[in-house]
Chain A
């Protein structure tokens, strides 16, 4: 297999983007990405698009709107789906396209337009990330699934609502330093703890945001990467795992088995351990998800995730900086874009271009992206060139 590097990154403003359509959002990210790579769309051989839901986009093939609008015709575009991990599925597919030799330069776009439907409809669409036959009849929602994971984690390990709130406080602190973030707002512990319940024990500030947005990267083979970029970031480890459709069938309700599996696979492929990671973006769709991710990725022992955030070890100057771009919590979670946005942030960190949220001397980065209530999980490891 050939080596694969990120040689260009692009990101649009995340938020309630009632000013732009799905394809226009994608264009913003692609234009930014072409500028960063210093190439034109004509130099790209092939394309992968991650868009999660036809229900959000009112289209059967929303990716076609994107390849048409960015002027990619007649070259190939391949759409990926993996609920909230859709973007990482696109990154993985882009890697496969280059590594296999099918193409030398591949554009990966992730985009989602979620705010054109009312919140209750968005809640229903996301809720179907669980089992529509066996769980949804009980009024389950996406926050509901993670609330049950939180409740089990609290009962088993003594994790507290305050520890959950501290994740929100950290991610909003860094979101204020990210100009692309949806909610650039300081959130105090008191605010987070006194916000209303969305699904007990998760409160408003434990939840990520319903967001519009797009992100893009260019992946290239070793030969092309060296020609295009003097600061390539290599994608050196990939892992992909799965878990049961209904959460009730999971042996352990406090861990996502797919994340553990994907992490092990990615570490092994990269020849690394959790201690090697300098900076990570993890899937904090809910605050409890970030705490579970610390444990599943091996950043701390099982059950000690709450303590890790309490000791501020996941701040930029801590033992393992996590989500210093604001995370899904503050940056926002346009589902198809999220995995690609994570790759953009890690690339910035490894290039040393993350500005006020830069982690010092970051050489190795990790992204962790989960679909639904854990049904799929993707872990990618990146290294500075």
Chain B
């Protein structure tokens, strides 16, 4: 799968596999085989020991919400103002946040299924891959049943 199905802009990268794994339901990070550094977002190169010998690791995605926001004024690329005379359209943003996993790594994702009023720092959520209508893959944080 093309990296562009995850990222908006960039398609050329050594960590392209991330998108295929995400499409199959796995959220992957990389780990340096030499010094053991865990990385998310995944990197092909270790910034610590400069090794390029990295392995892919499936992340255990249960975590606690480290922080969140709800962007009411979206950037141009996401701007969906309907041009319909006499109609009323109210943009309802979807909350986003950072989920802190047990190993300390943080993942960014959408929080579509939790009532915004109940979103608090520290709540337990699970990061999951989701394929959007149109084929894009993304990451969502869902409540744990």
Which residues from chain A sit less than 8 Å from chain B, CB to CB?
Answer: 118-121, 123-124, 127, 131-141, 143-144, 147-149, 151-152, 154-155, 196-202, 246-249, 253
CA distance A165 to B88 in the complex (A): 31
**Interface presence of B114 (CB below 8 A):** no
Partner of B72, one of A120, A140, A152, A200: A200
Query: Are A127 and B70 within 8 A (Cβ)?
Result: no
Of the listed residues B66, B69, B77, B93, the one surrounded by the most CB atoms of chain A closer than 10 A to its CB is B69
Closest to B96 in A: A138
Interface residues of B in 1-54 (CB under 8 A from A): 6-10, 13, 40-41
Number of A-B contacts (CB under 8 A): 117
In whole Å, how far is B80's beta carbon from the nearest beta carbon of chain A?
10
Query: Are the C-beta atoms of A136 and B8 separated by less than 8 Å?
Result: yes
Q: Contacts of B41 on A, CB cut-off 8 Å?
A: 131, 133-134, 246
In the complex, the answer to whether B75 meets A138 with C-beta atoms within 8 Å is: no
Nearest 6 A-B pairs (CB), nearest first?
A: A147-B69, A155-B121, A248-B106, A124-B75, A124-B76, A152-B67
From 70 to 84 in chain B, residues with beta carbon under 8 angstroms from any chain A beta carbon are 70-79
User: Min CB distance, A77 to chain B, in Å?
Assistant: 30
A293 CA to B107 CA in the complex, in Å?
A: 26
For residue B122, CB closer than 8 A to chain A, the reply is yes
A248 to B105, CA, bound (A): 8
Known contacts A155-B67, A248-B107, A198 near B73 by CB under 8 Å: yes
Chain A neighbourhood of B94, CB < 8 A: 139
Q: Is the CB of B67 within 8 A of A197?
A: no
**Distance in angstroms between the alpha carbons of A136 and B76 in the assembled complex:** 12
* Most chain A C-beta atoms within 10 Å of own C-beta, residue among B8, B72, B109: B72
What are 27 A-B residue pairs whose CB atoms fall within 8 Å in the complex? A119-B73, A123-B75, A123-B76, A124-B75, A124-B76, A133-B13, A133-B41, A136-B75, A138-B109, A139-B74, A139-B94, A140-B96, A148-B67, A148-B69, A148-B97, A149-B67, A151-B68, A152-B121, A154-B121, A155-B122, A198-B72, A199-B73, A200-B70, A200-B95, A248-B66, A248-B108, A253-B98
A151 to B122, CA, bound (A): 11
Decide if A120 touches B76 in the complex (CB within 8 Å): yes
CA distance A83 to B121 in the complex (A): 29
